[in-house]
Structure 1
């Protein structure tokens, strides 16, 4: 993630690019996963069909699982900004949520305790709706200093333990810093990178779906 050190300008300039979540488009008995996050979820720089939510849904269906994955990613979102739109993202019909946030917080040097507090509120809100949660961790750029990166890294396992949610430690694991899997900005995965993320996170998604309660 140390290539992220000079990326603040790119994130700050990113426009909101996510369409409103289409939870209502799924069949009544189809589980709906809301992928909630920033540009890594929204699919900045990629066609919608190559975004993480679209590829995850396609991969699940290829394995015989009829699941709808909603793209609730907004480029440039910090954890605080995402928290403000959570109710909009978790429209009626959501069955589970994947939370991928924190990268922009780190780029802006937001104190880790603030990021942790916002993510805790997101988890609490989801659990209040009886939605199982998969928390996808991020890492801070190393140029933020050892104390900051250590404190930031500790956010995700601490929250997973506190709330009993599923944890995927690093959303870009095996993809970050791999030129063949990243776009030219060195920050966002290309289509091949998204495919690898989907492949690697799939076991945790299976666990998430196993926690989904049948719809009434």
Structure 2
């Protein structure tokens, strides 16, 4: 994933796809990559996930609490009320890239992500951690440390872990918006195709235990 140094304007977007009879919820905590930036909400990968789950797992509702420009600190501050309100069984955690854009210490990003994971576990929610990449002009050492922090967190907490959700998308101009940062409408199904194999076992794990 490639970023410009300028920061995106933060826009708060929360979309709940719910079935009143649903007993289970999936909460997505992400940044612009999960907030359908510059697209109609129904074209984003989270909405496409909702449509797919309506067929394979109709008892699961999806809550998208992603925010364009969100940092891990912002996500951490919003997370406890969201857990309390929605009581999710699963959390997709896709945050951190904007921390790097702002030059935040990696130790702070790590700490914020770990706190969110611990809060999710305390709420009996399983976590899928999605990693991010930043461009090499931030320095090879920093970019490698940033990419690897997600793997270390995933290993520490034994999480389901997707290293990079834009695999096969980020370098394909046909699948990216003109800003070179965000997938376009054609790229969103590919993002979902990257995410779903990591999410599916978690969904079935709880289903089998019911």
What TM-score does the superposition give when structure 1 sets the normalisation length? Answer: 0.89
Structure 1 segments unaligned to the other structure (5+ residues): none
Equivalent position SS for 1:170: coil
2:19 corresponds, among 6, 22, 26, to: 26
How big is each residue's C-alpha offset from its partner over 1:41-93, in whole Å with a ceiling of 9 and x where there is no partner? 1111010101221111112234x321322111011111111110002332233
Instruction: Summarize the alignment of residues 20-59 of structure 1 with structure 2, pairs less than 5 Å apart.
Output: 22=16, 25-59=18-52
Counterpart CA distance in 2 for 1:212 and 1:36 is 20
Instruction: Summarize the alignment of residues 99-110 of structure 1 with structure 2, pairs less than 5 Å apart.
Output: 99-110=93-104
How big is each residue's C-alpha offset from its partner over 1:128-163, in whole Å with a ceiling of 9 and x where there is no partner? 001000000001221110110111111111111111
Q: State the partner residue of 2:74.
A: 81
**1:132/1:211 contact within 8 Å kept:** no
Q: 1:117 to 1:206 in 2, by over 3 A?
A: same
Instruction: Summarize the alignment of residues 170-181 of structure 1 with structure 2, pairs less than 5 Å apart.
Output: 170-181=164-175
Structure 2 segments unaligned to the other structure (5+ residues): none
Q: State the partner residue of 1:149.
A: 143
Instruction: Summarize the alignment of residues 1-216 of structure 1 with structure 2, pairs less than 5 Å apart.
Output: 1=1, 3-4=2-3, 7-9=4-6, 12-19=7-14, 22=16, 25-62=18-55, 64-66=56-58, 67-90=60-83, 91-212=85-206
**2:16/2:62 contact within 8 Å kept:** no
**1:29/1:215 contact within 8 Å kept:** no
Equivalent position SS for 1:120: helix
State the shift of 1:111 in Å.
Answer: 1.8
Counterpart CA distance in 1 for 2:76 and 2:201 is 24
More strand by share: 2
What TM-score does the superposition give when structure 2 sets the normalisation length? Answer: 0.91
